């Protein structure tokens, strides 16, 4: 079987990497296609995957419309060369459209349900894998396959991920020393339009307060003010999950990294007006706290830091969550192998 996987975010490499390695080891061929956003190319090369990059994404509205046509065409032409039997993605309109034109099935994972995007790919998609359908959304239920899990459990489930504490030496962290991971997004993605997170003033206050409690590391999609450069996280992209695993706490505007920390039992504070069903579910386990803007975030940080045995408590919460959820990579492997 030839499988074409289209990715639009570095996390999508992680979402499909264990599935892809398994299929390759069992005689199948896998090709990744992508646009360059942040670390996609680095991760694909690090894991040794065959890939085709279609170049940079477009940021303007006009550019995004042009990009839809351009990347659709490039995806289809790549499919003609690769001859896939199956297309996979995390809600890629390009993969869906190319699959429709090439007359092969497209399976998609979805966890945010940004309906502007869903409407562009769902009519051309055979099966949509989701953990829950948000209330009030009217879509073709026959295409939905509900599973008990999160995207992040495709690569952070203990069946696949073991943290490496050598990251502490790389970060210069002493045994027992607290450190905090902060994530700022660039707000250029289509789903970010009209959304908000932490104001500049609140970022300053947060960094200043956390610096008094431990070391601070900032992961940022965009440029940082010069005075914050000293806090920039400087580790290889494939080691980010080790950084998360041992962090005292995560505070950030990106839902993916917040969820990843939740899967690892690291207290996570997600600050963004954009909601998702998975975020709500992780809140129910007490693994993650969602703020629509920066108001009250510092108070929550202080509240959490006052908890005795903070990390041990969140590890217990993580274990409760894992008892209810599945190994998502194993699920996808079994589903696709069932088609053979």
Portion of the chain with pLDDT greater than 70, in percent: 97
Average per-residue pLDDT for the chain:
93
Which residue in this structure is represented by tokens 């408590």? 313
Confidence (pLDDT) at 175? 85
pLDDT digits (tens, 9 = 90+) for 106-116: 999 999 898 88
pLDDT category of residue 233 using cuts at 50, 70 and 90: very high
pLDDT digits (tens, 9 = 90+) for 127-144: 999 998 888 788 888 899
Q: 3-class DSSP state for residue 224? A: coil
Taking each helix axis from N to C end, the angle separating 328-337 and 10-25, rounded to the nearest 10 degrees, works out to 50
Portion of the chain with pLDDT greater than 90, in percent: 83
Is residue 191 pLDDT above 80, yes or no? Answer: no
Distances (CA, A) of 103 to 6, 65, 68, 96: 16, 24, 19, 10
Is residue 187 pLDDT above 60, yes or no? Answer: no
Residue 177: left (phi > 0), alpha (psi -120 to 50), or beta? beta
Q: What is the average per-residue pLDDT within 246-268?
A: 97
Structural contact between residues 246 and 167, judged by C-beta atoms closer than 8 angstroms: yes
Confidence (pLDDT) at 89? 98
* Six token digits for residue 200: 């500049």
CA distance 142 to 169: 50
Q: Terminal CA-to-CA distance of the chain, rounded, Å?
A: 8
Q: What is the average per-residue pLDDT within 185-209?
A: 74
- Of 19-28, 271-280, 301-310, give the lowest mean pLDDT range: 271-280
Structural contact between residues 138 and 306, judged by C-beta atoms closer than 8 angstroms: no
Is residue 37 pLDDT above 50, yes or no? Answer: yes
- Of 24-28, 34-38, 160-164, give the lowest mean pLDDT range: 34-38
Confidence (pLDDT) at 196? 64
pLDDT category of residue 75 using cuts at 50, 70 and 90: very high
From the candidate CATH numbers 3.40.50.300, 3.10.20.90, 3.40.50.2000, 3.40.50.620, the one assigned to the domain spanning 167-324: 3.40.50.2000
pLDDT digits (tens, 9 = 90+) for 90-128: 999 999 999 999 999 999 999 989 888 999 999 999 999
Q: Kindly report the length of the chain.
A: 340
Confidence (pLDDT) at 114? 87
Confidence (pLDDT) at 194? 47
Is residue 66 pLDDT above 90, yes or no? Answer: no
CATH superfamily for domain 2-157+326-337: Glycogen Phosphorylase B; (3.40.50.2000)
Confidence (pLDDT) at 190? 46
In the chain, where the domains are located = 2-157+326-337, 167-324
Is residue 60 pLDDT above 90, yes or no? Answer: no
How far is Cα of residue 167 from the mean position of the Cα atoms in its chain? 21
Question: Cα-flanking dihedrals φ and ψ of residue 39, to 5°?
Answer: -125, 20
Sequence-distant (≥ 6) Cβ neighbours of residue 335 within 8 angstroms:
145
Nearest CA to 6 out of 114, 63, 82 is that of 82
- What pTM did the predictor assign? 0.92
């Amino acid at each position: 079987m030839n499988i074409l996987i289209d990715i639009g975010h570095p996390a999508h490499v992680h979402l499909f990497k264990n599935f892809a390695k398994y299929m390759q080891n069992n005689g199948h061929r896998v090709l990744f296609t992508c646009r360059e956003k942040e670390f996609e190319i680095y991760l694909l090369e690090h894991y040794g995957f065959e890939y085709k990059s279609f170049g940079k994404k477009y940021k303007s509205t006009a550019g995004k419309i042009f990009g839809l046509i351009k990347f659709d065409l490039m995806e289809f032409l790549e499919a003609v060369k690769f001859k896939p039997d199956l297309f996979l993605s995390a809600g890629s309109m390009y993969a869906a459209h190319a699959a429709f034109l090439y007359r092969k099935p497209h399976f998609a994972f979805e966890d945010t349900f940004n309906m502007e995007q869903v409407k562009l790919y769902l009519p051309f998609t055979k099966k949509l894998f989701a953990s829950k359908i948000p209330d009030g959304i009217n879509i073709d239920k026959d295409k939905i396959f509900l599973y008990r899990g999160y995207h992040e459990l495709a690569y952070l489930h203990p069946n696949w991920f073991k943290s490496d504490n050598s990251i502490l030496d790389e970060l210069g962290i002493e045994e027992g020393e607290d450190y905090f991971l902060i994530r700022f997004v660039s707000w250029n993605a289509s789903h970010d339009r009209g959304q908000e997170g932490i104001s500049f003033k609140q970022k300053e206050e947060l960094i200043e307060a956390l610096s008094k409690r431990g070391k601070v590391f900032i992961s940022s999609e965009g440029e940082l003010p010069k005075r914050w450069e000293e806090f920039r996280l400087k580790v290889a992209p494939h080691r980010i999950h080790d950084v998360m695993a041992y962090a005292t706490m995560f505070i950030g505007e990106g839902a993916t990294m917040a969820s990843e920390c939740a899967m690892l039992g690291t207290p996570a504070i997600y600050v963004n007006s954009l909601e998702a069903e998975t975020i709500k579910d992780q809140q129910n386990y007490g693994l993650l706290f969602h703020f629509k803007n920066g108001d009250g975030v510092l108070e929550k940080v202080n509240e959490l830091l006052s908890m005795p045995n903070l990390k041990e408590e969140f590890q217990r919460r993580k274990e409760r969550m894992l008892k209810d959820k599945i190994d998502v990579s194993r699920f996808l492997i079994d589903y696709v192998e069932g088609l053979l």
